[in-house]
Amino acid sequence: MAKVAKSPWLLHYDGSSCNGCDIEVLACLTPVYDVERFGVINTGNPKHADILLITGGINSQNKPVVEQLYSQMPSPKVVVAVGICACNGGVFKECYNILGGVDKVLPVDIYVPGCAARPNAIIDGVVKAVALLEEKRAKMDSEGGNNK
Amino acid sequence: MSTIIGIIAFIVFAPFAGGLLSGIDRKLTARMQGRIGPPILQPFYDVKKLLNKEILLINNMQILFMWCFLVFIVFTGALFCGGSNILLVFFVLTTAAMFLVLEASLTNSAYATMGANREMIQMLSYEPMVLLTAVGFYVATAFSTGTGTFNLHEIVDNSPIPNIVYLPGVFIGFLYILTIKLRKSPFDISMSHHAHQEMVKGVTTELSGGLMALMEISHWYENVFLLLVVSLFIICDAWWSIPLAVVVVAAAFFLEILIDNTSARVKWDVMLKSAWAVTLVFGCINVFILQLI
């Protein structure tokens, strides 16, 4: 699993969240956790990203944004929902504007629960996403429809 | 014969050297920030990954222009290592940069277009100094040997001592624009290696998969070529100049990384004015003095 595994690039999108999980995602990049030692880069560009990391729930305003970001990412790609709000809406679940978790609009592959999700848990989620990326890439190759 | 060896050596070894330099750069950057940092071979893993990704094209011409960019960058370095004319080398380098601007412009993406505009401002900033470097070598060889030359073989073979002795101002000016060419902060305005730039990834925003890999490989070739130009200031007709050149190039590279990590990105007008000011003050005065004495 060498091809994607050593260089997973993240795209972080902050949905309808309280920003707690976002700060934890950024904490992963700081010297204490330093995800770059695994080759992880937090890119701001969907076209360079392998992993879409979403924090916070989905509302009707950010639904098209999330869908567009996902559609702009080249395959293979994985979606990671970070925090309980991204998993199922969390404490905002009953709000009139919240549609629910990320899985209401995108096929979520990895769920990282927590309020806020700990950096260790986020890194663990990314590691699981990396394994899945490799699986998807192998599938893409075997199906032959790989436009590369 | 040495010409052909030089060209082949550049084409074959430059990407490895460039990738390693890029890895060392990231490691040093991480250490300066108190992090562990990625493995030295990380840039190679990245390119391998990119080659296995899907390519999302906006315009088919993107493929052509990215290949042109790579080919012209390789051509620049090959001409340099083949000992061609230094003016020709710099003109081909400019041509390569234009292909990157074309690629970014034709995507119609707001961020890539803005990156293309800024890339042109960067060219405007560094181009006078690049040309003055060529002129500087001509004047320096004229000063030391009596006949000026733009030919790289003659510049190296006819100089009894390193040309930096005659061209300290031009060397400072070249180091200044090297920051722009290596895409280092404070002058990484058209495309930055660091995340969260105000315009996403500038000129590379619309490059995905293999095209981004081409961009990375071109960047490796370009970096090696630029460091070879730095070494041209040192290398002369004496054996000790080669180890000295290695030391100076390593020091210059370290200095660029240090500047990258200790300075904030500036606006384009500061870059343009300061680059031209350095060109005028250090480059032009240096060349004038050589002409007068």
For residue A140, being part of any structural domain is answered with no
**Inter-chain touch A137–B26, beta carbons under 8 Å:** no
Q: How many domains does chain A fold into?
A: 1
Nearest CA in chain B to A75: B54
For residue A143, being part of any structural domain is answered with no
Q: How many CA atoms lie within 13 A of B112 on its CB side?
A: 20
Burial of B135 (0-12, 13-18, 19+ CB in 10 A): middle
For residue A106, being part of any structural domain is answered with yes
Give the range among A29-43, A76-90, B23-37, B210-224 with minimum mean pLDDT: A29-43
For residue A3, being part of any structural domain is answered with no
Q: Is A18 on the interface with B (CB under 8 A)?
A: no
The C-alpha of B34 sits at a distance from chain A's nearest C-alpha, in angstroms, of: 6
Domain extent at residue A111: 9-133
- When scoring B25, B46, B49 by the number of chain A Cβ atoms within 10 A, the one with the most, hence best to mutate, is B49
Provide ipTM, 2 decimals.
Answer: 0.87
- Assign residue A105 the CATH number of its domain: 3.40.50.12280
Phi, psi of A52 (to 5 degrees): -95, 115
pLDDT tens digits, B75-131: 999 999 988 899 999 999 999 999 999 999 988 888 889 989 999 999 999 999 999
The C-alpha of B268 sits at a distance from chain A's nearest C-alpha, in angstroms, of: 22
Q: How many domains does chain B fold into?
A: 1
β-strand partners of A58: A100
Token pair, residue B102, equals 């074309």
Mean pLDDT for A6-29 is 89
For residue A107, being part of any structural domain is answered with yes
Q: What is the pTM of this model?
A: 0.92
For residue A50, being part of any structural domain is answered with yes
pLDDT of A143 strictly over 80: no
Mean pLDDT for A43-50 is 89
The partner residue sitting opposite B195, judged by closest CB among A44, A75, A140, is A44
**Inter-chain touch A41–B207, beta carbons under 8 Å:** no
β-strand partners of B197: B200
Domain extent at residue B191: 2-6+9-292
Calpha distance B50→A49 (Å, rounded): 10
Q: Is A142 on the interface with B (CB under 8 A)?
A: no
How far is Cα of residue A9 from the mean position of the Cα atoms in its chain? 10
Calpha distance B227→B230 (Å, rounded): 5
pLDDT of residue A133: 87
Q: How would you classify the pairing of strands A98-100 and A58-59?
A: antiparallel
For residue A54, being part of any structural domain is answered with yes
Calpha distance B250→B20 (Å, rounded): 13
